[in-house]
Amino acid sequence: MTLDLVLTGGRVVDPSQGIDRIADVGFSGGKVAAVADDLASDARDVRDVSGKIVTPGIIDLHTHVYWGGTSLGIDAEAFARTSAVTTCVDTGSAGPGNFPGFRKHVIEPSQTRILVYLHVSFAGIYGFDPQIMVGESHEFRLMAPGHAREVIKANRDVIVGIKVRVGRHASGPQGIAPLDVALGLSDETGLPVMCHIDEPPPSYEAVVAKLRKGDVLTHCFRPFPNTPVMGDGRVKDEVLAARERGVYFDIGHGMGSFAYKTARAMLAAGFPPDTISSDVHAFCLKGPAYDQLTTMTKFLGLGMPLNEVVARATARPAEALKRPELGTLATGAAGDASILSLQPGEHHLEDVVGEILTVDERLVAEGVVINGHWWYPQ
């Protein structure tokens, strides 16, 4: 069989299959054809990636890519080029009232795959801007579960879950009530909830106590207040119970939601995140989150091995999304791959409270394969 594309000579790191070795990766018909030795002799396009790392297409489980439709939206394809992300999961930029524009003008034209957690609020995250900051969950009249149910029914191919934001900034006087609305919509549609948490109220404990198997808590390694860990280093009982139930804990770095102090304490307690995501948006693109690879590099700097970091940006988010064709280089999987390198040098990476972590190498993007074809750089 003649292959459409072969990546040859790279270090293939695919945690979904326990692979970490030098090998070729072949693609045919938009799918992964094989991970094996010596595939390059029968291929239409051969790319020598010797000295590089080849992973399944990276999934960023928390992004905001409704460019032009919301003030916080960024361009998904530009982001993919800088971060080697092949699947952007937009988390609540759009609600049922403005989702059709998101689909027509952003999702459908994009070569980068975009999946969506639809916001339960009518217009999604509409008031997130340096000049005006209005938590959409403050206004309970904007909760639109009935409308959202119909939009989900018509767009099951791209809508993978339901987004809600609670906390002092996001829901204010409504407290935890918007989460109850989202959970009811989840019961109706069968889709999981991703819940944002910021400063209390409600408390971290109250929020995770409501989440069920398959739901996602994002911003899970927040700084104080509303952290998952006690001052003495013990993980809160409600957090341990939530993981036991099957709740996913997602980083969602963003502008204010990731602290090294919390991360160190949680890792020391044997509680790594399930998924590593950037929460990239227009107001953290130049720091402190920057992009997905920078967020992943921070975990390398905290001592997490490369294969575990890759797993939390490929196989684990694919599991949370219930998309087994993603996050793997198994034969027949979606033909996506990320080509990376570890750039040596002294790199200074900040968290959201200003602490600097100095690392001696960082992940950088070297190439992107989408649907079985070399996409970037041309």
Q: Residue 140 has what pLDDT?
A: 95
Q: Residue 175 has what pLDDT?
A: 98
Distance CA(333)–CA(36), nearest Å, equals: 15
Distance CA(156)–CA(158), nearest Å, equals: 5
CA distances from 316 to 10, 88, 249, 270, 323 (A): 23, 14, 11, 17, 10
As a whole number, mean pLDDT of residues 206-235 equals 97
Structure token pair of residue 174 = 């409504």
Report which of 140, 162, 160 is spatially closest to residue 96, judged by C-alpha positions.
162
Report which of 120, 154, 116 is spatially closest to residue 137, judged by C-alpha positions.
120
In the chain, what percentage of residues exceed pLDDT 70?
A: 100
Tell whether the torsion through CA atoms of 103, 212, 312 and 166 is positive or negative.
Answer: positive
CA distances from 335 to 12, 50, 214 (A): 14, 20, 26
Q: Quote the pTM value.
A: 0.98
Over residues 75-134, the pLDDT tens digits come to: 999 999 999 999 999 999 999 999 999 999 999 999 999 999 999 999 999 999 989 989
Over residues 271-324, the pLDDT tens digits come to: 999 999 999 999 999 999 999 999 999 999 999 999 999 999 999 999 999 999
Distance CA(197)–CA(169), nearest Å, equals: 9
User: Are the CB atoms for 362 and 343 separated by under 8 Å?
Assistant: yes
* Structural domains of the chain in order of their starting residue, each with its CATH number: 5-55+332-344+362-376 (2.30.40.10), 56-321 (3.20.20.140)
- 179 band by pLDDT with thresholds 50, 70 and 90: very high
Over residues 7-22, the pLDDT tens digits come to: 999 999 999 999 999 9
13 has which bridge partners? 20
User: Are the CB atoms for 297 and 288 separated by under 8 Å?
Assistant: no
- 148 band by pLDDT with thresholds 50, 70 and 90: very high
Residue 102: left (phi > 0), alpha (psi -120 to 50), or beta?
alpha
Over residues 17-36, the pLDDT tens digits come to: 999 999 999 999 999 999 99
Q: From the CB of residue 38, how many other CB atoms can be counted at a distance below 10 Å? A: 10
Q: Residue 378 has what pLDDT?
A: 82
Tell whether the torsion through CA atoms of 93, 98, 103 and 107 is positive or negative.
Answer: negative
Environment class of residue 130 by beta-carbon count within 10 Å: exposed (0-12), middle (13-18) or buried (19+)? exposed
Distance CA(355)–CA(223), nearest Å, equals: 11
Is the pLDDT confidence value at 261 over 90?
yes
CB hemisphere CA count around 194 (13 angstroms): 30
Over residues 48-80, the pLDDT tens digits come to: 999 999 999 999 999 999 999 999 999 999 999
Q: Residue 109 has what pLDDT?
A: 98
CB hemisphere CA count around 353 (13 angstroms): 13
As a whole number, mean pLDDT of residues 176-193 equals 98
Over residues 150-174, the pLDDT tens digits come to: 999 999 999 999 999 999 999 999 9
Distance CA(77)–CA(84), nearest Å, equals: 10
Q: Residue 376 has what pLDDT?
A: 96
As a whole number, mean pLDDT of residues 230-258 equals 98
* Mean pLDDT of the chain, nearest integer: 97
Tokens 């200003």 correspond to what residue?
354
